[in-house]
């Protein structure tokens, strides 16, 4: 990348919406290394703390079902050997309650209504056809994460309730 293009890209990334929390973890599942690289730069500029990358649906499911649950999953539809619809289905059908509720946004080069509707019916939270503007994408993703990520007040309530449960005498 030329230094002029690098400066231009840097300025564009400086003006993006930022995540409300500084501990947002995101999983990017896409078989195209260029798309993953661009998304990783965009998400880092938005303040994501951790970005996991998967080059296909199998690797993406291995990461998603691992010990750490992402706050957001971005997934391509057209991948081999497992496509994006199968990834969505596996994540939505899991017994891991928190994972099954994680926002999952599909990226696709298709603009066909049947394909976009199919991804939503399979359980995608949203579908974003490629190409898209970084600014619009950042605003949309920040909104999704802020609606689903527990606030510090929610976490305090959870901790207080857990403490109360542990303080109560057991029968």
Backbone angles phi, psi at 168, to 5 degrees: -70, 140
Question: Minimum mean pLDDT among 90-99, 113-122, 132-141: which range?
Answer: 132-141
Question: What global pTM score does this model have?
Answer: 0.79
Given pLDDT bands bounded at 50, 70 and 90, which one contains residue 149? low
Give domain limits for the chain.
9-166
Contact 73, 98 (CB under 8 A): no
Is 9-166 in CATH node 1.20.58.1030? no
């Amino acid at each position: 990348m030329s230094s002029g293009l690098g400066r231009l890209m840097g300025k564009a990334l400086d003006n993006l919406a930022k995540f409300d929390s500084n501990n947002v973890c995101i999983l990017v599942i896409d078989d195209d290394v260029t798309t993953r690289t661009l998304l990783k730069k965009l998400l880092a500029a938005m303040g994501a703390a951790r970005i996991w990358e998967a080059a296909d649906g199998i690797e993406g499911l291995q990461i998603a079902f691992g010990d750490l649950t992402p706050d957001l999953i971005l997934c391509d539809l057209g991948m081999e050997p497992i496509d994006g619809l199968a990834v969505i289905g596996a994540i939505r059908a899991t017994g891991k309650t928190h994972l099954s509720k994680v926002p999952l946004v599909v990226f696709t080069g298709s603009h066909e209504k049947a394909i976009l509707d199919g991804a939503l019916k399979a359980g995608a939270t949203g579908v974003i056809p490629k190409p898209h503007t970084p600014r619009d994408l950042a605003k949309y993703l920040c909104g999704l994460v802020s609606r689903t990520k527990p606030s510090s007040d929610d976490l305090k309530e959870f901790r207080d309730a857990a403490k109360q449960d542990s303080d109560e005498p057991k029968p």
